[in-house]
Structure 1
Amino acid sequence: MSRESIERYFAAFNAGDAAGMLALVSDDVAHHVNQGEVRHGRAAFAEFCSHMGVSYREELRDMVIFVSDDGTRAAAEFTVHGEYLQTDPGLPEACGQQYVLPAGSFFTLSGGKITRVTTYYNLQDWIAQVSV
């Protein structure tokens, strides 16, 4: 179930299906955002997904998923292909810039749900790509 949960999570992400992603996380999910504060709980995760859906259009490609033998931890490496749609406060102004970034996510799983999501990418690389 662990690999399937991660595959379903990323399939929902690529489909822009926030509800599908939310169905896979626990009520008390810990969402560790790259260079940001940890968001706790499904409501905070839903708010983040909503914001991302407005500001960015992204597709994750070249996905490689790793799962621990006991199924409680997983990691994924991928390439983000995106478009910057709406200016995010404190970041460069958006005007539809395209970007491509290597990234990775780490997960903790329990009881068939994702209880932790941690995502990393190089923010300075992204800023350089979207700066006009």
Structure 2
Amino acid sequence: MPETARELINRYYRAFNDGNMTVFLDLLTADVVHDINEGGRETGREAFAVFMERMNRHYRERLTDIVVFASADGRRAAAEFIVNGEYLASDEGLPEAKGQRYTLPAGAFFEIRDGKIARVTNYYNLQNWIKQVSQ
């Protein structure tokens, strides 16, 4: 039996929290579209992998309080969650990293095609994050 959209998104976040980038990336279509919070749009699993390598170098994050919603046809989903993180290494154009911890509400929207994630659009309040790591 094919997995539901909610099961797919929950598996995506479980792989993220486990740090299992192989499973995490395998849940994406080869041509996945990634809309980066307050940034650009990247296309392709390889570009997403490069993005995640950079993120994992600069941040250690665990998502909690994950709630997943899905459309009746299973083609779209959304998630709301809390990002619990630590800023490990300074990221270009952002404040200096000193191991600051942060807690940030966030959300994401997904398109699903053939049992895989075809689009991920992430949202969080960048100014809130900057305020937290600048204290």
Mark yes or no: TM-score above 0.5.
yes
- Looking at structure 2, the residues matched to 91 and 18 of structure 1 have their Cα atoms a distance apart, in angstroms, of 25
Other structure's SS at 2:94 match = coil
Q: Which amino acid aligns with 1:54?
A: R
Question: Which segments of 5 or more consecutive residues in structure 2 lack a partner in the other structure?
Answer: none
Other structure's SS at 2:52 match = helix
Structure 2 residue 15 is the aligned partner of structure 1 residue 49: no
CA deviation digits over 1:16-59, x for unaligned, max 9?
Answer: 11111100000000000101110100110000111111110001
Q: Which amino acid aligns with 1:3?
A: R
- What TM-score does the superposition give when structure 1 sets the normalisation length? 0.98
Alignment size in residue pairs: 132
- Looking at structure 2, the residues matched to 48 and 19 of structure 1 have their Cα atoms a distance apart, in angstroms, of 14
- Superposition RMSD on alpha carbons, in Å? 0.7
Other structure's SS at 1:60 match = strand
Give the stretch that moved more between structures: 12-21 or 103-112: 12-21
Question: Which segments of 5 or more consecutive residues in structure 1 lack a partner in the other structure?
Answer: none
- Looking at structure 2, the residues matched to 36 and 17 of structure 1 have their Cα atoms a distance apart, in angstroms, of 25
Q: Which amino acid aligns with 1:123?
A: L
Q: 2:66 aligns with which of 63, 66, 82?
A: 63
Other structure's SS at 2:110 match = strand
The answer to whether the Cα contact below 8 Å between 1:107 and 1:117 also exists between their aligned partners in 2 is yes
- Looking at structure 2, the residues matched to 19 and 91 of structure 1 have their Cα atoms a distance apart, in angstroms, of 28
Deviation of residue 83 (structure 1)? 0.2
Structure 2 residue 120 is the aligned partner of structure 1 residue 117: yes
1:88 alignment partner in structure 2: 91
- What TM-score does the superposition give when structure 2 sets the normalisation length? 0.96
